Amino acid sequence: MNQANDAAVEALLADIGSTHGELLAIVQQVRRIAAASGNGVTESVKYGGIMFSHSQFFCGVFAYRHHVTVEFGHGYRLEDRYHQLEGSGQYRRHIKLHSPDEVKSKHLADYIQQAYTLATG
């Protein structure tokens, strides 16, 4: 990872923590899951959130006022076995998270793993 990227990520995390501390815990969980989804995962700040990529972007996390969303640019290709994906656009899907517990109860790791596998396959 490059240092400018790391600094941008840290600045965004500090901003989320100062304005929406309860959401920071969710964002940090998402970051850990994305990093654990495979080798060579990088983070960058884009579109007001943190984007995760390998050879290409596979998902991103965004903090809003009352929730966090995890966005999948090719979400239409994911198997929605837990019926958690939202969005009716042609490609993009997302999962809304309102508490740290929902990271597990909405099976987020499964969706992120699928997105990583699609991006690297």
Compute the radius of gyration of the chain from its Cα atoms: 13
Tokens encoding 84: 């958690």
Q: Which residues pair with 60 in a beta bridge?
A: 51, 71
Q: Torsions phi, psi of 98, nearest 5? A: -110, -15
Q: What is the pTM of this model?
A: 0.94
Q: How many CB atoms lie within 10 A of CB 97?
A: 24
Average pLDDT, the chain: 95
> Mind listing the pLDDT tens digit for each residue in 39-92?
999 999 999 999 999 989 999 999 999 999 999 999 999 999 999 999 999 999
CA distance 93 to 30: 16
